[in-house]
Chains A and B, each alone.
Chain A
Amino acid sequence: MSPRTKSAKSSSDMATDMSLEASAQNAEAKAAAAGEQLPTIEFVSPMPGFPGHKSFVLVRLDEVGLLNSLRSVDDPELRFITIAPHQFFPEYAPEIDDETLAAMGTKDPTQLLVLLIVTAGDTPRDSTANLMAPIVVDPMTMKAAQCVLTGSNLPVRAPLA
Chain B
Amino acid sequence: MLVLTRRPGESVMVGDDVVITVLEVRGDVVRLGIRAPRSVPVHREEVFLELRAANQEAASSSEDAVEALTRLIGSDGEKG
Contact = CB atoms under 8 A, between A and B. Distances in A.
Given A21-B63, A156-B50, A47 B68 contact: no
Interface string A78-97: 11110100010000000000
A24 B67 contact: yes
B67 A47 contact: no
B77 A44 contact: no
A24 B43 contact: no
A118 interface: yes
A8 to B, nearest CB: 16
Interface in B8-55: 38-41, 43-44, 47-48, 50-55
B54 A119 contact: yes
A102 B38 CA distance: 9
A22 B59 contact: no
Given A66-B73, A130-B58, A49 B66 contact: no
User: Which has the most chain A C-beta neighbours within 10 Å: B40, B41, B53, B62?
Assistant: B41
Given A48-B51, A156-B50, A64 B67 contact: no
A132 B55 CA distance: 12
A24 B66 CA distance: 9
Contacts of B77: 62, 64, 66, 87
Given A62-B74, A64-B77, A50 B55 contact: yes
Contact of A127 (B54, B63, B69): B69
A133 B47 CA distance: 10
A14 B72 CA distance: 25
A119 to B, nearest CB: 4
A66 B78 CA distance: 11
Contacts of A111: none
Contact of A49 (B44, B52, B73): B52
Contact of A21 (B47, B51, B66): B66
Contacts of B54: 117, 119, 130, 133, 156-157
Given A48-B41, A119-B57, A130-B54, 15 more contacts: A19-B62, A21-B70, A45-B38, A45-B39, A48-B55, A49-B59, A50-B55, A50-B59, A61-B70, A62-B70, A66-B77, A118-B69, A119-B54, A123-B68, A127-B69
The 4 A-B residue pairs whose C-beta atoms are closest, nearest first, are: A120-B65, A49-B52, A120-B61, A124-B72
